[in-house]
Structure 1
């Protein structure tokens, strides 16, 4: 299998496989979208504005409800982080497996080439020894 990057394939096969798997599963696409948005600065800015408005204008004593909301949000966001970490671990394992298989194939090929070179060298030495005797 040729892993040389070409115009049609510029990523590692494990990356392409993971992208295809993620594109095929609606739940994964939703988790990716939430994780991507939650890790952005607009997410932070919106929270700053919402919490500031809530604490300043909407409730006179926002702390119990605010604590509940923030705790629930932290639970869900940490779950999305763990989902992402699990996917990353699976990706790293797939990449490591692919790389191992490629290295094993290369090792076998190099070993066979080395054996052929050794055999040709022995034949060459044998012929040269025979010619020098004649």
Structure 2
């Protein structure tokens, strides 16, 4: 009898008796999901176009302190040379027009690389958002079904709370397109 109870607990927890040792706090499902997401991210990075990888690399570097230090050294050297502070260095930009032009052109390119990276990140966020929505809809459906089953069990056992009117509303399936229509309508009404 004792081994039967342990077997039921093992099945309910979802941990097979032959499963490999898990880190504390991790279930096999959680570990599988983490590995699946990591694999998917690596696959997306491999599938990225050459232009996307270049933009991502440049954006990653320009968003680092190394980029700040390199620019600080270059600009300080440029200014020092053109102010005549460095002995023997030729003064090639006394009005700093070339430096300003170079900085402007660099800003144009860097902002373009950042926008490319942001567009890619936004596309990934949209895909994750879609996954979240699908997961939430599935969860809502499963919870509604579990509520229906639990209520039927409670009624069968004669538990009075099973007749709570709020449970009937919770048991109704949510139509996501109606929720989106309502959110859109509310957004239009609030902006008018």
Query: TM > 0.5 between the two?
Result: yes
Q: Count residues in correspondence.
A: 120
Q: Give the secondary structure class of the aligned counterpart of 2:34.
A: coil
Q: Deviations over 1:16-63 (max 9, x none)?
A: 645432332222211111011111111111112222223314514251
Which structure is higher in RCO with an 8 Å CA cutoff and minimum separation 6? 1
Counterpart for residue 24 of structure 1: 47
CA distance in 2, matches of 1:62, 1:73: 19
For the 8 Å contact 1:23–1:29, the answer to whether it is kept is: no
Whether 1:38 and 2:62 are equivalent positions in the alignment is yes
The root-mean-square deviation of aligned C-alpha atoms, in Å, is 2.4
1:52 aligned to which of 76, 90, 101: 76
- Pairing 1:61-80 to 2, within 5 Å after superposition: 61=94, 63-80=96-113
Q: TM-score, normalised by structure 2?
A: 0.54
Q: TM-score, normalised by structure 1?
A: 0.74
Structure 1 runs of 4+ aligned residues shifted over 6 Å read none
2:125 aligned to which of 89, 92, 98: 92
Greater helix percent: which structure? 1
